[in-house]
């Protein structure tokens, strides 16, 4: 197989790493690792933005401020990034972690030039901490980081196999889109990607593949130009 992209940003949902959506399932992480390794061996530079939904899904009490809840979510993504970094490194994949949050003694603070430098050295870069600010989703963090590191493509690996016109979990008649534009996502008010992320990707002309992580080989297939879910341009 031949890669059609030189540098990609992989967005992983936290739930995709957990056992039944919570905690960290090392077997699932190792499956992701093997897929990333296969892409890396093609000479593709990879950065990974990870979510935190396996630890924290947002406000659970009216007494918790939205900004506080979002900060807790960003800390959850740092926990996932730390786990990925250690598991990847222990299994022979050269890895470097950065966080949008300044957590002295834990990891290096995000700097786009440093990230590019590490990717060019051949390291897989793990990015935690979201955007570092409340009120922005991990989708927006992925779009922002992709723009900052000049990624050719965003690979959005989820527990669903693409973008639908309604929730396939509640509507068996939901129809999946093979292709979409960011403008269509905004006009149709599709919830698979938040509007801030869609607008940012549209401004920077960054294509995005949304696909299921549960089907083995999907990351590699999309890097090689095969659409296994929904392709957004």
Q: pLDDT tens digits, residue range 29-55?
A: 999 999 999 999 999 999 999 999 888
Q: Residue 223 is part of a domain; what is its CATH number?
A: 3.40.1160.10
Task: Output 170 or 230, whichever has higher pLDDT.
Answer: 230
Whether 170 is in a domain gets the answer yes
| 177: three-class secondary structure by DSSP | strand
Task: Count up the domains in the chain and report the number.
Answer: 1
- Percent of the chain residues past pLDDT 90, beyond the cut: 70
Does the pLDDT at position 90 exceed 80?
A: yes
Q: Please give the Cα distance from 176 to 91 (Å, whole number).
A: 36
Q: Please give the Cα distance from 89 to 15 (Å, whole number).
A: 22
pLDDT computed for residue 190 by the predictor? 85
Whether 69 is in a domain gets the answer yes
Contact residues for 108 (Cβ-Cβ < 8 A; gap 6+): 96, 97, 98, 99, 114
Whether 1 is in a domain gets the answer no
Whether 2 is in a domain gets the answer no
Task: Output 184 or 61, whichever has higher pLDDT.
Answer: 184
Whether 146 is in a domain gets the answer yes
Whether 215 is in a domain gets the answer yes
Range of the domain at 57: 7-232
Whether 147 is in a domain gets the answer yes
- 203: exposed, middle or buried (Cβ count in 10 Å: 0-12, 13-18, 19+): exposed
């Amino acid at each position: 197989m031949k890669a059609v992209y030189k540098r990609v940003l992989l967005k992983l949902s936290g739930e995709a790493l957990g056992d039944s959506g919570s905690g960290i399932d090392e077997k699932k992480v190792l499956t992701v690792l093997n897929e990333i390794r296969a892409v890396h061996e093609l000479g593709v530079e990879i950065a990974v933005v990870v979510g935190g939904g396996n630890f924290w899904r947002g406000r659970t009490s009216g007494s918790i401020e939205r900004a506080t809840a979002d900060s807790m979510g960003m800390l959850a993504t740092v926990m996932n990034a730390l786990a990925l970094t250690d598991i990847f490194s222990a299994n022979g994949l050269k890895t470097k972690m950065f966080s949008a949050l300044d957590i002295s003694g834990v990891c290096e603070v995000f700097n786009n030039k440093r990230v590019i430098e590490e990717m060019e050295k051949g390291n897989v870069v793990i990015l935690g901490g979201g955007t570092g600010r409340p009120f922005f989703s991990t989708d927006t963090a992925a779009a922002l980081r992709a723009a900052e590191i000049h990624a050719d493509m965003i690979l959005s690996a989820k527990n669903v196999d693409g973008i639908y016109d309604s929730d396939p979990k509640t509507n068996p008649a939901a129809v999946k889109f093979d292709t979409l534009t960011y403008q269509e996502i905004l006009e149709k008010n599709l919830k698979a990607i938040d509007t801030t992320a869609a607008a940012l990707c549209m401004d920077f002309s960054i294509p995005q593949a949304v696909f299921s992580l549960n089907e083995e080989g999907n990351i590699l297939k999309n890097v090689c130009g095969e659409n296994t879910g929904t392709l957004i341009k």
